[in-house]
Amino acid sequence: MHILFVTATRIGDAVLSTGLLNYLSERYPDARLTIAAGPVAAPLFEAVPRLEQVVIIEKRRWALHWVPLYAAVAVRRWDLVVDLRGSALAWLLRARDRKVMAKGDAREHRVRQLGHLFDLDPPPSPRLWTAPHHEHAAKVLVPPNGPVLAIGPAANWRGKQWRAERFAELAHRLTAANGLFPGTRIAVIAAGHERAQAEPLLKAIPTARLIDLVGNLDLLTASAVLRRSALFIGNDTGLMHIAAAVGAPTLGLFGPSPIEQYAAWGERTAVVRTADPPESMFREGFDHRTTDTLMDSLSVEAVEAAAHALWCRLEIAAA
């Protein structure tokens, strides 16, 4: 059996789709999987069981990226084509069965929207697969000698980025002698091109307790690092969804983006959002390319309180 799974360009959306991919893998244990994804998200799938191929969807003007994708996958008759991007691709291919994602209800979480495609309630939770070399690399980067607080200070656009100086103050409070994680090591995780965003935080952490992972991780090694973390705190990004998918206690910081659709998913997660509602942030003349952060109405005190509340909830659940 051969399944074609067409998923997202963005990391976060791709992570959220992995629950459905895992469902298909378990439902059809003999199936060979071909996954089509954008170039940034594609590495998430390299350790998927029974993976036959990852096809990269390179974005092109006028939707011409569908042409090389069609050429790459039209050579076979598929048993099942799952298209989460709602394109015409599935109808152009030879296939025994097709599932094509329609536009979802904006009031409903993306994971639930995906579950509706196969009438799954509850929907399958996201999960990620790693290879031994990812786990080994994570163990080398973050030796198992005490807890680690992981922070994701960057974002793919400035409006969603809580100020690095506030992350620094939060890290100081949480790792102080009377904090949640006294004296704990702090791992800062971001892509190489995001170093400038993280720099104020990196400079504020004592060298002896800093684990600087900015630009040092591929996505699956990052997932292995996050699995070893006591707590992850970060902006609404793909990294937040990776942390939640691997079961790390995860606190997501939200401002302009919709919590209803993109909150971190799972029982070990929580979100905290700006005092200003999203609708107040997009005024006439708004341009996401030039905006400064829209997260300033989210205080350090509010995030610290949310971290304590999440940790308390998890301790009660574990008792």
Residues 158-174: pLDDT tens digits? 999 999 999 999 999 99
Ordered alpha helix ranges (H), the chain: 11-16, 18-27, 66-73, 89-92, 110-116, 132-141, 164-174, 195-204, 219-227, 238-245, 259-262, 300-318
* pLDDT value at 64 more than 80: no
What does the pLDDT average to over 192-212? 97
**Residue of 290, 251, 293 whose CA lies nearest to 269:** 251
Average pLDDT, integer, range 131-141: 97
Q: What is the pLDDT of residue 105?
A: 85
Same domain, 265 and 184: yes
Cβ–Cβ < 8 Å for 20, 82: yes
pLDDT tens digits, one per residue of 1-10: 999 999 999 9
Among residues 85, 116, 147, the one where a domain terminates is: 116
For residues 86 and 166, membership in a common domain is answered with no
Of 99-108, 193-202, 203-212, the least confident: 99-108
Lowest pLDDT segment from 62-71, 259-268, 293-302: 62-71
Residue 271: strand pairing partners = 252
Domain assignment of residue 9, given as a range: 2-116
CA separation for the pair 131, 147 (Å, rounded) = 23
The structural domain count of the chain equals 2
Residue 77: pLDDT above 80? yes
Tell me the pLDDT of the chain averaged across its residues: 94
pLDDT at 145 over 80: yes
Indicate the SS3 state at residue 313.
helix
Per-residue pLDDT, 132: 98
In this prediction, residues 48-70 reach a mean pLDDT of: 83
Say yes or no: 65 and 138 in one domain.
no
In a shared domain, residues 69 and 163: no
Same domain, 147 and 271: yes
Q: What is the CATH number of the domain that holds 308?
A: 3.40.50.2000
**What does pTM read for this prediction?**
0.96
pLDDT tens per residue across span 275-301: 999 888 887 777 777 789 999 999 999
